């Protein structure tokens, strides 16, 4: 493609939107056409994200009523929605309808939870609210890029960050028949996973130098993880998930444990993971236990594994804002646009974050 594709970002002042803007600034194919913010329309993006001032010194947030005209200006547009769940679907629906009227085409990747479920009933059972655009659900497929070579639908819903880390560790175990279908998951996430608006769980004096569980065995992402794992493997697995809040800003560390069906050594388990992900440029399997600092602020995920002959533990680390959200969304958008999957995403982690 010789010309850049205009990109529209929804949920403009949030952390994920900020990460999307950072990635788009260095992307060879995408350029920002509009950034929606209901709270700060007309304000400079650089005021909300000072670290992006060099990339967007004058660009301002747009209001919702400006977007339909923008999607009609180009034959193809890229739409990223980092709007909150319960809000995203209706906005996406309006923009897809506006593009249809204008005779243009939009590729959409939704990073909210609004299109992660295959039915209105499944979504509403988890989020306890009416879906904003139920007729659009069939136009979206939810999957980790590494577990689906191409989307069968015109748009994609990116799984959540905990879901991404858990699925990367779990799907090979299920798909290769290495373990029982009952899996135990412990996950630790950085404070940026709770969003930009300060709440008690992310307030620095409370979270600093502390570690605590929340939503144990009842986290709302479990149905999403279960559904995505079944879509990838055809297996209805049981996920027993205990998430934790960690005292760092970026990153996720997940450990998945399960009983082995046969006698599998650590070396054999690592070889199986390497074979499973050999065509996946952003997943690396190491002999040593993976560390969050080695992937933070990148689109890479590192996995490791150990066995004792009867059980296996697979460790998975990734950046919650990047691989678990914005970076994974750009990875999907690259595919939808028919360009290299790694475009704009191959920069390694900075280290020492």
Candidates 54, 108, 142, 161; catalytic one: 161
- Report the candidate in 88, 16, 11 with the shortest Cα–Cα distance to residue 327: 16
Task: Specify whether the CB–CB gap between 21 and 52 falls below 8 A.
Answer: yes
Task: Specify whether the CB–CB gap between 153 and 141 falls below 8 A.
Answer: yes
Instruction: Give the number of other CB atoms < 10 A from CB of residue 266.
Output: 16
Contacts of 327 (CB under 8 A, 6+ apart): 19, 23, 298, 299, 319, 321, 345
User: What does the alpha-carbon distance between residue 200 and residue 202 come to, in Å, rounded to a whole number?
Assistant: 6
Contacts of 91 (CB under 8 A, 6+ apart): 10, 36, 64, 81, 83
In 123-267 the beta strands, taken as DSSP E runs, fall at 140-142, 155-157, 182-189, 212-213, 238-245, 252-259
User: What does the alpha-carbon distance between residue 13 and residue 96 come to, in Å, rounded to a whole number?
Assistant: 22
- Report the candidate in 256, 246, 229 with the shortest Cα–Cα distance to residue 313: 256
Buried (b) or exposed (e) across 10-36, using 16+ Cβ within 10 A? bbbbbbbbbbbbbbbeebebbebbbbb
228 tagged catalytic = no
The residues assigned a catalytic role are: 161
């Amino acid at each position: 493609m010789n010309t850049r594709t205009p990109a529209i970002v929804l949920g403009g002042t949030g952390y994920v939107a900020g990460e999307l803007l950072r990635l788009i600034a260095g992307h060879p194919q995408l350029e920002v056409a509009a950034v929606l913010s209901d709270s700060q329309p007309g304000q400079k993006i650089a005021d909300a994200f000072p670290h992006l001032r060099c990339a967007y010194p004058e660009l301002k947030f747009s209001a919702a009523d400006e977007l339909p005209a923008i999607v009609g200006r180009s034959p193809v547009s890229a739409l990223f929605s980092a709007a909150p769940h319960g809000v995203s679907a209706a906005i996406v629906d309006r923009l897809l309808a506006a593009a249809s009227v204008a005779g243009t085409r939009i590729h959409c990747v939704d990073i909210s939870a609004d299109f992660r479920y295959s039915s209105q009933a499944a979504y509403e059972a988890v989020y306890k609210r009416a879906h904003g655009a139920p007729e659009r659900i069939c136009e979206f497929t939810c999957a980790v890029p590494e577990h689906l070579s191409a989307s069968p639908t015109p748009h994609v819903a990116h799984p959540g960050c905990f879901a991404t880390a858990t699925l990367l560790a779990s799907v090979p175990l299920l798909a290769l028949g290495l373990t029982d279908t009952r899996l135990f998951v412990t996950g630790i996430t950085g404070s940026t996973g709770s969003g930009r608006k300060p709440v008690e769980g992310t307030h620095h004096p409370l979270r600093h130098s502390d570690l605590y569980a929340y939503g144990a065995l009842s986290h709302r992402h479990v149905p999403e993880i279960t559904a995505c794992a079944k879509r990838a493997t055809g297996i209805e697995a049981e996920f027993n998930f205990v998430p934790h809040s960690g005292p760092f800003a970026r990153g996720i560390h997940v450990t998945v444990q399960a009983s082995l069906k046969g006698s599998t050594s650590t070396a054999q388990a690592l070889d199986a993971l390497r074979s499973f992900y050999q065509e996946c440029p952003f997943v690396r399997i190491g002999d040593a236990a993976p560390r969050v600092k080695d992937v933070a602020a990148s689109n890479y995920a590192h996995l490791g594994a150990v066995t004792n002959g009867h059980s296996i533990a697979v460790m998975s680390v990734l950046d919650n804002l990047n691989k678990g959200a914005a970076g994974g969304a750009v990875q999907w958008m690259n595919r939808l646009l028919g360009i290299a999957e790694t475009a704009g995403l191959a920069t390694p982690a900075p280290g020492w974050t």
